[in-house]
Copies of this chain bind each other. A is one copy, B any other.
Amino acid sequence: MRILVANVNTTQSMTDSIAAQAAAAAAPGTEIVGLTPRFGADSCEGNFESYLAAIAVMDKVLSYPEPYDAVVQAGYGEHGREGLQELLDVPVVDITEAAASTAMFLGHKYSVVTTLDRAVPLIEDRLKLAGLDARCASVRASGMAVLELEEHPDRAVEAIVEQAERAVRDDKAEVIVLGCGGMAGLDEQIRRRCGVPVVDGVAAAVTIAESLVRLGLSTSKVRTYAAPRPKTVVGWPLLAEATAAR
């Protein structure tokens, strides 16, 4: 089984770390392929960057030349999953939803700890649309920007632990969700520090994608995620000319 794990930003080292986290979670026999978009921001921390990432991920996945069994979109709180579902016949799993869905099997309420405060409303909106917000105690910002997570892993752990502890104590969370693809790999440390289960979205998404494939389940095509109707689409794929030259 081959699963494409699409980073939402253009930072290759983050793709590598996400892919490594995915591979660690995958079953034997699952091949993980990390994808980096051909365009977009080096980190996604807002709506413009997220919308651009949505298209960039679709562009990248569509241009992947080999067969694959499922796609994981590895951006926490990002746009675009619905578009991928329309374009593909294989299952598409977003890490925001995968993590929330997994956390709900582990405790009465969960909290998300993410990067910057400005990302909080995006995540809240994604969870609301996904119908996975009823048991979300809070979405909290650690104050660490996406790229700082890589640069300062120790500070990141401290900042995330602090918010996780508040979530458990004040918001009554019983499970912590790591709200950024770039936090992949920190779960074990934070779990030890906080004493509650910690869910990493990439790992959760990979196992869900594997399960869907194994059960022979994929996106329903009867309505919302039916393939796009045949029509004229100007300038798509977007960077055809530009990328041809690279």
Contacts and interface: CB of A to CB of B under 8 A. Distances in A.
Contact of A225 (B174, B219, B225, B234): B174
Contact of A131 (B39, B134, B240): B134
A169 B75 CA distance: 27
A241 interface: yes
Contact of A47 (B97, B106, B225, B236): B225
Given A79-B79, A234-B39, A108 B223 contact: yes
Contacts of A49: 228, 231, 233
Contacts of A80: 51
Interface residues of A, number: 94
A211 interface: yes
Given A41-B233, A48-B87, A238-B239, A224 B121 contact: yes
A92 to B, nearest CB: 8
Interface string A119-143: 0111001001111111100000000
A19 to B, nearest CB: 17
B145 A229 contact: yes
A195 B208 contact: no
A235 interface: yes
Given A101-B105, A108-B223, A131-B135, 8 more contacts: A27-B214, A49-B228, A51-B83, A97-B105, A107-B220, A121-B172, A168-B222, A199-B217
Interface of A: 10, 25, 27, 38-43, 45-52, 54-55, 58, 79-80, 82-83, 85-87, 91, 93, 97-98, 101-102, 104-109, 117-118, 120-122, 125, 128-135, 145, 168, 172, 174-175, 195-197, 199, 203-204, 207-208, 210-212, 214-215, 217-220, 222-226, 228-229, 231-236, 238-242, 245
